[in-house]
């Protein structure tokens, strides 16, 4: 039986790669250079799924995804929350006293300021975490270090000089899993369901207030609401939302009907209906 193929953005050993190993043990993880490449790989059948980061508890949202999702023709079928741990990696034979520089993605460097300051080394921005680990390994320079995953250390033959060096222990990334086939989760006892959708409100007074009123009156918990411009226009705003519940349940069904009434025609689009990850029980 062939392995399930799942694409991710980045190089082997990236956090998205690690998320695939956690959520889909035994799957074949396929790296892609960009998010657009990930989406295309799923659309054309080169992969069954894509593991895509959508937000981080420290860095905030991954903005590109909100723009790509509505026109991607893909569907959210699952989510995965993963605590992010940064490891200080270097060549075998190196130690903290030999280090002069550390390189990684700008967010990783920003999330590990304490150890960088403690060691007195220079931070260098790289394209991504796993790529920095690969470059350190290829350079063969014991003065260079990387902030990346344990998986990256294993792949590129690096030594972990210090574990879990992130400043904030609550550092967590939420991923969505995308498929070219829509697959709505079925409501189950004691199993929460998340519905994700996008919409644009009509240009009328209190449009957003009216759009959200149906969720309040029908007792629907909205866990995420974000806005962003469309096509560089200051007047065209699209909203991206997550709510608890299934569109076939009466409360959410009524709320979505009320929302559709104040939306621009044909702009309300459900992107996915999927099981809530167990991590949500923590908050």
The residues assigned a catalytic role are 173, 175
Contact of 245 with 167, CB cutoff 8 Å: no
- Please report where in the chains the tokens 């741990």 appear, as a residue: 85
Contact of 85 with 164, CB cutoff 8 Å: yes
Contact of 174 with 55, CB cutoff 8 Å: yes
Q: How far apart are CA 109 and CA 64, in angstroms?
A: 21
233-257 in b/e form (b: 16+ CB < 10 A) is: eeeeebbbbbbbbbeebebbeebbe
Residues pairing with 179 in the sheet: 49, 75
Q: How far apart are CA 157 and CA 136, in angstroms?
A: 10
Q: How far apart are CA 213 and CA 222, in angstroms?
A: 11
Q: Nearest-5° angle of CA 56, CA 35, CA 273?
A: 65
Q: Which residues, 6 or more positions from 139, have their beta carbon under 8 angstroms from its beta carbon?
A: none
Contact of 28 with 56, CB cutoff 8 Å: no
Q: How far apart are CA 176 and CA 129, in angstroms?
A: 20
Q: How far apart are CA 141 and CA 84, in angstroms?
A: 26
């Amino acid at each position: 039986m062939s392995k399930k193929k799942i694409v991710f953005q980045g190089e082997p050993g990236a956090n998205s790669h690690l998320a695939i190993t956690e959520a889909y043990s035994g799957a074949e993880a396929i790296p892609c250079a960009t998010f657009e490449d990930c989406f295309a790989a799923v659309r054309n059948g080169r992969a069954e799924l894509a593991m895509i980061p959508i937000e981080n508890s420290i860095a905030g949202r991954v903005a590109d995804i909100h723009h790509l999702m509505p026109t991607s023709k893909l569907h959210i079928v699952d989510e995965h929350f993963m605590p992010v741990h940064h490891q200080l990696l270097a060549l075998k034979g190196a130690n903290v006293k030999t280090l002069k520089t550390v390189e990684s993605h700008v967010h990783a460097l920003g999330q590990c300021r304490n150890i960088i300051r403690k060691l007195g080394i220079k931070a260098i921005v790289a394209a991504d975490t796993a790529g920095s680990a690969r470059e350190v390994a290829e350079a063969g320079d014991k003065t260079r270090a990387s902030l990346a995953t344990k998986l990256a250390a294993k792949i590129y033959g690096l030594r972990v000089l210090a574990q879990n060096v992130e400043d904030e222990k609550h550092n967590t990334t939420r991923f969505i899993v995308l498929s070219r086939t829509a697959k709505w989760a079925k409501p189950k006892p004691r199993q929460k369901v998340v519905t994700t959708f996008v919409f644009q409100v009509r240009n009328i007074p209190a449009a957003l207030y009216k759009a959200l009123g149906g969720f309040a009156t029908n007792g629907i918990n909205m866990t995420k609401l974000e806005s962003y411009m469309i096509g560089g226009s200051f007047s065209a705003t699209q909203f991206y939302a997550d709510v608890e519940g299934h569109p076939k349940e009466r409360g959410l069904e009524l709320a979505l009907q009320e929302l559709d009434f104040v939306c621009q025609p044909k702009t309300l689009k459900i992107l996915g209906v999927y099981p809530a990850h167990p991590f949500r029980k923590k908050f």
